[in-house]
Homo-oligomer: A and B are copies of this chain.
Amino acid sequence: MDTPLTPTAGNDAGPPSEPRYEQLSGLPAEPLTAGQLRELYSLMVAVRHLDASAIAWQRQGLIPGYAPELGQEAAQVGSGYAVDTARDFVFPTYREMGVARAMGVDMVAYMSTHKATWHGGLYDPQESRLAPIQAVVGGSVLHAVGWAHGQTLSRPADGTLGVAMTYFGDGASSQGDVHEAMNFAAVMKAPVVFFVQNNGWAISVPTERQVAGGSVAARAAGYGIPALRIDGNDVVAVVEATRRAFAHCRAGNGPALIEAMTYRRGPHSTSDDPGRYRSLNEERDDAGEDPLERFRRRLLADGVADEAFFAEALAAAKSEEEEIRAGVQALGSRPGSEMFDLVFQETTPALQAQAANWREESEHV
């Protein structure tokens, strides 16, 4: 009577570094051209450099805080690169700087959120195809499902669908909203790609004390959602998996999930102190090889790029960062009147009265 029941399988999705492609049926994705590979490298360097610089900006007092993505460049650039900004729509968290950059979002407008200028960022989400920056963990996963269902409802004549891609972390996978989103998406066959960056940590809590069963991808099976668990530090694998997931969704086959196994090499945010919950040795052992360094070696080995190209890419990254920093530095505060003006499309007498009162009392100051 006290014999343990055995789990019904599916919860052991292999160690993070082993990509699992076997769940992908059909043709392999078209290989990336040399030009595309170099473009990816340039993006990753730009993102790496901007990310490291943003931490410096914070230390220098230019911005009050920042959530670094060091180590997640392959996962972010690779997935963002697969987006068709003419018809798809992306729902980020607070850590998707690399996705924004890969999608071509105005980076001064993006970084303004970290300067405490405006919560969602100053970029235009409709034009950028990137929803406003989202601080609620798991908060926008359902939005992606709704947006995607909207595509089904207004399906164009050629039958192909705009696809929503939503980002969330291993920690976010614990939120009820994420479950509701997966179930809704699967019931409605909504064209949505759930892109999980499993970076090993939710602030101080490691994945093994967060994600029961050990894998977010394994959850997808319970909803009948096809899932891929991939090496999120291999940018080529990320691009290919994301393209295939998009193709799956675009053709009307319903949602797909990608769990990109990666590692948050930096602190959770500039106010975090990872030394309290993990040692430098653990970091070194668990992080694996640097995705940028790895990609660089590969490009060299394959003869796709040479040292001159890498130097050029770094130089471009540096001048890009300088421009962005200048833009961020130049950013003034938004006028206080926007607090009132942007609440509604149709304002109210009470708000107008409060705005008038505010104007009067702050002019006296």
**Chain A residues engaging chain B, CB cutoff 8 angstroms:** 1-11, 23-27, 29-30, 174-180, 182-187, 209-215, 217-228, 243-245, 247-248, 250-251, 253, 256
Contact = CB atoms under 8 A, between A and B. Distances in A.
27 contacts: A1-B30, A1-B243, A3-B26, A3-B27, A4-B248, A5-B25, A5-B253, A7-B221, A7-B224, A8-B217, A8-B218, A11-B221, A175-B176, A176-B178, A176-B180, A179-B179, A179-B180, A185-B212, A186-B212, A186-B213, A187-B210, A187-B212, A212-B225, A213-B221, A213-B224, A219-B223, A221-B221
A226 B10 contact: no
A250 B2 contact: yes
A5 B30 contact: no
Contact of A248 (B2, B30, B221, B256): B2
A222 B10 contact: yes
Nearest to A189: B212
A228 B7 CA distance: 10
Given A174-B183, A187-B209, A213-B186, A1 B221 contact: no
A253 B1 contact: no
Contacts of A175: 176, 180
Contacts of A178: 176, 179
Contacts of A29: 1
Given A2-B250, A5-B26, A11-B223, 16 more contacts: A1-B244, A3-B244, A4-B25, A4-B253, A5-B23, A5-B226, A5-B253, A6-B23, A11-B221, A11-B222, A187-B210, A212-B223, A213-B221, A213-B223, A215-B222, A221-B221
Nearest to A219: B222
Given A212-B186, A219-B222, A223-B213, A251 B4 contact: yes
Contacts of A187: 209-212
A226 B30 contact: no
A245 B5 CA distance: 8
Give how many copies assemble into the complex: 2
Nearest to A6: B25
Contact of A8 (B5, B221, B247): B221
Contacts of A253: 4-5
A220 to B, nearest CB: 6
A344 to B, nearest CB: 29
Contacts of A4: 25-26, 226, 248, 251, 253
Instruction: Enumerate the 8 nearest inter-chain pairs by beta-carbon distance, A residue then B residue, closest first.
Output: A176-B176, A3-B26, A186-B212, A179-B179, A5-B226, A219-B222, A213-B224, A8-B221
Contacts of A211: 183, 187
Contacts of A247: 1-3
A242 to B, nearest CB: 12
Given A180-B176, A187-B210, A219-B223, A24 B8 contact: no
Contacts of A222: 10-11, 213, 215, 218-222
A134 to B, nearest CB: 17
Contacts of A213: 186, 221-225
B5 A244 contact: yes
Residue of A3, A9, A27, A227 with most chain B CB atoms under a 10 A cut-off: A3
A207 B33 CA distance: 47
Nearest to A246: B1
Contacts of A185: 212
Contacts of A219: 219, 222-223
